[in-house]
Amino acid sequence: MTRPIQFGIDRLLADPALRMPLAGRRVALLAHPASVTADLTHSLDALAALPDLRLTAAFGPQHGLRGDKQDNMVESADFTDPIHGIPVFSLYGEVRRPTTAMMDSFDVLLVDLQDLGCRIYTFITTLRYVLEAAARHGKSVWVLDRPNPAGRPVEGLTLRTDWQSFVGAGAMPMRHGLTMGELGQWFINTLKLDIDYRVIEMQGWQPESAPGHGWPLGERAWINPSPNAPNLSMARAYAGTVMLEGTTLSEGRGTTRPLEIFGAPDLDARAVLTEMQAFAPHWLKGCKLREIWFEPTFHKHAGKLCNGLQIHVDDPGYDHAAFRPWRLQALAFKAIRRLYPDYPLWRDFAYEYEHDRLAIDLISGSPLLREWVDGVASKPDELDSLVQSDEDAWRQEKARFLLYS
């Protein structure tokens, strides 16, 4: 009989022995709206209720502890929690790395962040930054581990040298296949950090098991870790659809299906899909694509009727091992470029505090994807060759840090 899954926060709350090393120490929590227990109590409230734990501060990543900030470069301010009376420090406001004053507020930082399993998702960058700060200041970091909802598959180009940014914390593929606890171990090893680090592991997580393939469907409620991450379908598609943020195409912000759909007012979606099927049909396996019409209420193309495609990954035909969202989205860009050679595909704007490099290159971790899309004679096997080499290398590298079979 399969035992019920327990996330790291649930185990820490249930087992006083796990908490014993925290006795007499000042504890802070890094969290967001999806940092909840099995009964949907926010981790901040659950930890504050423990008589044997002294909670002295909290931290919020991008979008804030409350998750109220909608978009990139919309900052959160520090505030005092009105219930618990502790300072809540923003790591996406005046600073993105914790200051000395922030670090002085605690002895042990508990990190309880639901990730999406994608390199660009900035919670893993914040994890790196707090690990580096903790190593400098002699603080302890405990990750209360949670599932990677995208599961174990690996996909995408590895971030290249000199392309690190707030959306590129390290040399890993777009879809990395690790949990936050495992990523912490990788950062510590890669950056050679001297730090007191611990992972409160999950119990009962089965990342290869259907139907969740990483997410415990039927056991745990999905809570948005950020405003545009409303469901598991988005998490599965995100390693590809996030690249839409660097384009003029709508990624569905301002609709009820953000980052599962894409389109534009001047796009012929049927023609795009036909071209995708002709150019690299093997990159479309594992999911279904459907032509749609939508009108964003805000963000790109607000108030305009868009023709586009929806990526379906929640029907009986979904094949988790075969689905390759990064290649699928790359193929959509290529199909548009082949159909409309002069289409203004790449959006030139300030992205995550970067003003001099194209957003698509920051997101992709190099210009390689864009150059392949724009190359008149480029073929699928040319990109596949680059990507497969990166993926194989990463699978071998990440194997040392896996905590769950």
**Interval 11-45: pLDDT, tens:** 999 999 999 999 999 999 999 999 999 999 999 99
What DSSP character marks residue 242? G
- How many domains are there within the chain? 2
Instruction: Indicate the residue among 227, 245, 264 that finishes a domain.
Output: 227
Phi and psi for 147 in degrees, rounded to 5?
-65, 150
Which among 179, 194, 227 is the end of a domain?
227
Same-domain check for residues 219 and 97:
yes
Q: Do 169 and 263 belong to one domain? A: no
Q: How far is Cα 163 from Cα 171, in angstroms, rounded to an integer?
A: 9
Gap between the Cα atoms of 231 and 246, Å rounded: 22
Give a yes or no: residue 64 inside a domain. yes
- Which residues contact residue 62 at a Cβ distance below 8 angstroms, ignoring those fewer than 6 apart? 69, 91, 92, 122, 123, 126, 226
Flag whether 32 is in a domain.
yes
Kindly state whether residues 222 and 244 are assigned to the same domain. no
pTM given for the model: 0.96
Beta-strand pair 87-90/54-60: parallel
Amino acid at 193: L
Torsion of CA 372, 375, 377, 379, to 10 degrees: 10
Distance (Å, whole) CA 45 – CA 88 = 13
Please report the pLDDT score of residue 66 as a whole number: 84
Give the pLDDT confidence of 151-161 residue by residue, as tens digits: 999 999 999 99
pLDDT tens digits along 150-201: 999 999 999 999 999 999 999 999 999 999 999 999 999 999 999 999 999 9
**293 inside domain:** yes
Confidence tier at 1 by pLDDT (50, 70, 90): very low
**CATH assignment at residue 163:** 3.40.50.12170
Per-residue pLDDT averaged across 275-302, rounded?
Answer: 98
Q: Mean of the per-residue pLDDT values for the chain?
A: 96
Neighbours of 350 (CB within 10 A): 11
Peptide bond into 316 cis (omega under 30): no
Same domain? For 338 and 243 the reply is yes
**11 neighbors 203 (Cβ within 8 angstroms):** yes
- Of 293, 193, 152, 308, nearest to 244 (Cα)? 308
- Examine residue 392 and state whether it is found in any structural domain, yes or no: no
Q: Domain containing 58: what range? A: 8-227
Please check whether residues 151 and 40 belong to one and the same domain: yes
> 3-state DSSP helix/strand/coil percent for the chain, to nearest 5?
30, 15, 50
Q: Enumerate residues 6+ apart whose C-beta is below 8 A from 139.
A: 103, 106, 107, 108, 109, 133, 195, 196
Verify that 202 and 242 share a domain, yes or no.
no
Q: Which of 173, 201, 227 is the last residue of a domain?
A: 227
pLDDT at 402 over 80: yes
Report pLDDT for 143.
Answer: 98
Residue 1, token pair as written in the block:
């009989």
Does 82 share its domain with 218? Answer: yes
User: 207 and 121, same structural domain?
Assistant: yes
Give yes or no: residues 208 and 239 share one domain.
no
In a domain, 3, yes or no: no
Asked whether residue 250 is domain-assigned, the answer is yes
Give a yes or no: residue 141 inside a domain. yes
Indicate if 117 and 49 belong to the same structural domain: yes
- In this structure, the chain runs to a length of 405
Sign of CA pseudo-dihedral 116, 119, 125, 128: positive
Q: Do 186 and 155 share a structural domain?
A: yes
Phi/psi at 196 (nearest 5 deg)?
A: -80, 105
How many Cα atoms within 13 Å fall on the side-chain side of residue 117?
30
pLDDT tens-digit map of 69-87: 666 767 788 899 999 999 9
Question: Does any domain span residue 358?
Answer: yes
DSSP assignment of 156-186 = SPPPPTT--BTTB-SS--SB----HHHHHHH
CA atoms within 13 A on the CB side of 93: 16
The CATH code of the domain that includes 246 is 3.90.1150.140
* Cα gap 258→252, rounded to integer Å: 4
Considering the domain architecture, whether residues 263 and 219 belong to the same structural domain is answered as: no
